[in-house]
Amino acid sequence: MSESLALAVLISGSGSNLQAIIDAIENGRLDAKIKTVVCNNPQAHGLQRAAKHGLPTRVFDHRDYPDREHYDATLQQYLQSLAPDYIVLAGYMRILSPAFINAFEHRVLNIHPSLLPAYKGLDTHQRALANGETRHGVSIHLVTAELDDGPVLLQANFPIAAGDSVEDLQARGHRLEHQMYPQLLGWISEGKLNIDVNGRILYEQIPLEQPLHFNP
């Protein structure tokens, strides 16, 4: 891309993936600009992370809106005014309405703590352990109207050992997430990964098969 990748990052909690993206930008590993950090939780620690780095923030507390449609319409209007290249969901714990997703079609990215299509939704680590899985992982995908159902852009996996807890899986997953999001955004900013207007995913100069598997 001729200009830095323009991002809007949506968070709900600690903002650790936001921090990983910020660090990659400040270290020169990612040619991108975070135009806004949006949060639905006024107490989220991620807002402090953003402020520390001088990033603009906006809080849209979902409890102030009568329903999801009104909330998403407000959020949509705000983001459209900034015209980001991509909307990055980084621990954003709200399901987006079809109208919102259609407004930013093929430009909303999400990171999910499982090897999609396995374990969509919540409590992925607990469910993987309960089912006796031997491997687990992380996926980054395009967001569609169906929950955790969009095309997978990048995956990474790790082994589950005997005696592992939910916290063990969560910690391993977070380590991968913090490497994967900057890597994927870097490929997009460098033109190595392109998502066209029809949602077709085109990989260039990356000698890996689709969906890409991340090797930390």
Q: Which residues are catalytic?
A: 112
Residue with tokens 């600009």: 33
Nearest to residue 10, comparing CAs of 63, 47, 48? 47
Give me the phi and psi of 135, to 5 degrees please.
-140, 150
Q: Which residue has the tokens 């991108």?
A: 32
With CA atoms as reference, report the closest residue to 14 among 38, 35, 56, 43. 43
The whole-angstrom separation of Cα 53 and Cα 51 is 5
End-to-end CA distance of the chain: 25
